[in-house]
Amino acid sequence: MTAASALLRAIHRRLGSDAALSALVGADGIRDRLLARPELPCIVFGEMETRDYSTSSEAGEEHFLTIEIWSEGEGRREAQQIAGLVHGLLHDTALSLDGAALVSLLHLRTRTRREPKTRFQLAELRFRAVTEQV
């Protein structure tokens, strides 16, 4: 398993194990893609970019990950509430990865907007993670 895959699995486990978040998005509310007819609100793993971040002594990778919060709410309130929970669960937290070690996981920014075609609210949280091979 790659460090990127292990990171995504660990994030999914962390988010899925939180009772307050599960109460808002439901048992199947964390997904790898947005379905054609999604049950909202939901959390979707968005874009992920991985770069080599090795040093002279350690093999490592730098990952930039976007987590999307989709909501049908009239305003941004629901999306921002869920985004706040996701931020609290992931920013600067320690996660156990299979085959890699998480050095850091930090929130970089959050962007919210209404999607013009669907009228859904979208909050995008951008994180930076650094992993090392073990």
| pLDDT per position as a tens digit, 55-109 | 888 899 999 999 999 999 778 999 999 999 999 999 999 999 999 999 999 999 9
Q: What pLDDT shows up at residue 122? A: 96
- Mean predicted confidence (pLDDT) in 6-26: 97
Q: Report the domain count for the chain.
A: 1
Separation CA 52–CA 33 (nearest Å):
25
Are 124 and 107 in contact by the 8 Å Cβ rule? The answer is: no
pTM for this entry: 0.94
Structure tokens at 60: 């490592």
- For the chain, the average pLDDT equals 94
**How does pLDDT run across 99-109, given as a tens digit for each residue?**
999 999 999 99
Mean pLDDT lowest among 8-12, 54-58, 86-90, 124-128 = 54-58
The whole domain housing 62 covers 3-133
Residue 83 burial (CB < 10 Å; 0-12/13-18/19+)?
A: buried
- Residue 75's domain is classified under what CATH number? 3.30.2000.30
